[in-house]
Amino acid sequence: MGFEETWTPATEAGRDGVRAILAAPGDAVIALDFDGTLAPIVADPSAARAHPGVLDALRGLASAVGAVAVVTGRPAGLAVEYGGLAGVPGVVVLGHYGAERWEGGELSAPQVHPGVARARAALPDVLAAAGAPEGTWVEDKGRSLAVHTRRTAAPERALELLRAPVGELAAAHGLVVEPGRLVLELRPPGVDKGAALTGFLRERGARSVLYAGDDLGDLAAFAAVEELRAQGLAGVLVCAGAVGDAPVRELADRADVVVDGPEGVVELLSALGEAVRAR
């Protein structure tokens, strides 16, 4: 059975997207989120690594499609390191929701927003005053601060408890809150995965795109693909995981294809690479 029969998207738009990628792979961009899509979700963010098979799948695609990009909330350099992405020829990593760009070993990044240092100084007191439970943990990403609740006894409840105070702190320092899978991230405004993806597709003159993600931050990329589809670009939206934290369900409702986490993403990308190389 061919790729189109095995991986038939649930929607006509998705089926058009697959046909366009297979017909003209050189005009296609394959864009992927990192955590939860290429790397399984783990309790310690510093322990996240690309799922086995990711690198082979990405290498197989890199030589066959227009471009492969990783679009992540992580610092670009960290995604390169944790994903082993330097081993994928030509890959572009858009980090910090598109504020950073890594390509060919070179990192370009804007100045750090001044509100981040002020929020960093105030955050411990804000968390204490809110009664943040044991296990609440702050990941300092330099350009942003991520408050994680995955390691608390009641992660969803902790997230709700902290949502308002973290939001107020972000607003007081000119930042926005990016909610995700058991995380509230304080980060600068003005960029998101949708703008990052749209800019990259335009830069590459793409005529089709496959985007895969698993988290609320990926909704902006989904929305961008939906808008570009209305303008004639062909696109396939993939949700990495049918079950799990609430953000995954929200994405699954909008996806053309739902696969079983990073393992399913590897199967899909490997099959797509084989299909385009066979043509």
Give 181 or 207: the residue with its C-beta nearer to ligand L263DTV3: 181
Q: Work out how close the CB of 149 gets to ligand L263DTV3 at its nearest, in angstroms, rounded to a whole number.
A: 8
The type of residue at 171 is A
Closest CA relative to residue 94, chosen from 119, 74, 124? 74
Q: What whole-number distance in Å separates Cα of residue 175 and Cα of residue 146?
A: 12
Q: Work out how close the CB of 276 gets to ligand L263DTV3 at its nearest, in angstroms, rounded to a whole number.
A: 25
Q: Is 33 a catalytic residue?
A: yes
Q: Work out how close the CB of 166 gets to ligand L263DTV3 at its nearest, in angstroms, rounded to a whole number.
A: 14
Give 182 or 225: the residue with its C-beta nearer to ligand L263DTV3: 182
**Catalytically annotated residue among 33, 35, 215, 245:** 33
Cβ atoms of 175 and 109 within 8 Å: the answer is: no
Residues that bind ligand L263DTV3 (CB under 6 A): 33-36, 41-43, 45, 48, 72-74, 139, 141, 146, 148, 150, 180-183, 185, 215, 217
Q: What whole-number distance in Å separates Cα of residue 229 and Cα of residue 150?
A: 36
Closest CA relative to residue 249, chosen from 264, 237, 239? 239
Q: What whole-number distance in Å separates Cα of residue 198 and Cα of residue 192?
A: 10
213 membership: H or E segment, kind and range = strand 208-213
Give 175 or 182: the residue with its C-beta nearer to ligand L263DTV3: 182
The type of residue at 65 is V
Q: What whole-number distance in Å separates Cα of residue 78 and Cα of residue 73?
A: 10
Sheet of 176-180: strands edge to edge? 137-140, 145-148, 183-187, 176-180
- Eight-class DSSP state of 85: G
Give 41 or 158: the residue with its C-beta nearer to ligand L263DTV3: 41
Q: Work out how close the CB of 272 gets to ligand L263DTV3 at its nearest, in angstroms, rounded to a whole number.
A: 20
Which residue's CB comes closest to ligand L263DTV3? 73
Give 53 or 142: the residue with its C-beta nearer to ligand L263DTV3: 142
Q: Work out how close the CB of 70 gets to ligand L263DTV3 at its nearest, in angstroms, rounded to a whole number.
A: 8
Q: How many CA atoms lie within 13 A of 186 on its CB side?
A: 33
Q: Which DSSP string do the residues of 152-189 spell out, in sequence order?
A: SSSHHHHHHHHHHHHHHHHHHTT-EEEEETTEEEEE-S
Looking at the annotation, which residues are catalytic? 33
